[in-house]
């Protein structure tokens, strides 16, 4: 298995070196390629020590109880454009989708702000729909 991994890595590096030579005019010697392959494989082996031994148990989504509704929110952040996208969904105790919404947001400064905006949008959606008893759920512990 180690030889197979080394061969695949070597082919990848040789192909990359070839493309650099053709497209950029950069030439690498065989010794440089061999050293890069060895260092890359050593780096991959070093990553094994960072893999967690114990997995964190994540709770599954639970439906709301009785006549309550659950508003779930999540968000994605694009740091380069300072934009985010909020995803909102409202479900009942039968797990039926009552409402869902996606909102694009601009001038967002950070991931934290992204999650806060999504949470506020979830609360606002519940108010707009006149909901009385709701649970609001997201995956950001700092926001919640």
Q: Are residues 94 and 127 in the same domain?
A: yes
Same domain, 77 and 133: yes
pLDDT at position 133 is: 84
Residue at 61 is within a domain? no
pLDDT tens string, the chain, 144 residues long: the values are 566 777 777 788 888 888 888 888 888 888 888 888 888 888 877 776 666 666 666 667 788 888 889 999 999 999 999 999 999 999 999 999 999 999 999 999 998 899 999 999 999 999 999 988 888 888 876 665
Instruction: Look up residue 138 and give its DSSP letter.
Output: -
Name the residue among 84, 141, 91, 89 with its Cα closest to residue 117.
84
Let me know whether 38 and 91 are in one domain.
no
Same domain? For 88 and 40 the reply is no
Domain count, the chain: 2
Do 73 and 133 fall within a single domain?
yes
CATH of the domain at 113: 3.30.420.10
- 34 and 77 assigned to the same domain: no
Q: Which of 62, 69, 58 is nearest to 99 (CA)?
A: 69
Q: For residue 24, what are the domain limits?
A: 2-50
Residue 10: inside a domain, yes or no?
yes
Asked if the structure places residue 12 within a domain, the reply is yes
Q: Write out the DSSP string of 14-29.
A: HHHHHHHHHHH-----
Q: Is residue 144 part of a domain?
A: no
Q: Give the CA distances from residue 101 to residues 59, 87, 113, 122, 131, in Å, rounded to whole numbers and listed in that order.
A: 24, 6, 19, 9, 16
């Amino acid at each position: 298995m180690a030889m197979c991994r080394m061969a695949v890595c070597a082919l990848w590096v040789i192909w990359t070196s070839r493309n650099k030579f053709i497209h950029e005019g950069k030439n690498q010697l065989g010794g440089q390629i061999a050293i890069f392959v060895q260092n890359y494989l050593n780096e991959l082996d070093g990553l094994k020590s960072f893999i967690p031994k114990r997995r964190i148990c994540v709770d599954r989504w639970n439906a709301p109880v009785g006549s309550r509704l659950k508003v779930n929110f999540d968000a994605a952040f694009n740091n380069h454009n300072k934009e985010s996208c909020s995803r909102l969904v409202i479900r009942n105790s039968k797990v039926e989708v009552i409402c869902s919404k996606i909102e694009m947001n601009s001038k967002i400064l950070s991931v934290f702000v992204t999650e806060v905006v999504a949470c506020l949008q979830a609360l606002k959606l519940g108010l707009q729909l006149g909901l009385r008893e709701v649970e609001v759920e997201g995956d950001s512990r700092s926001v919640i």
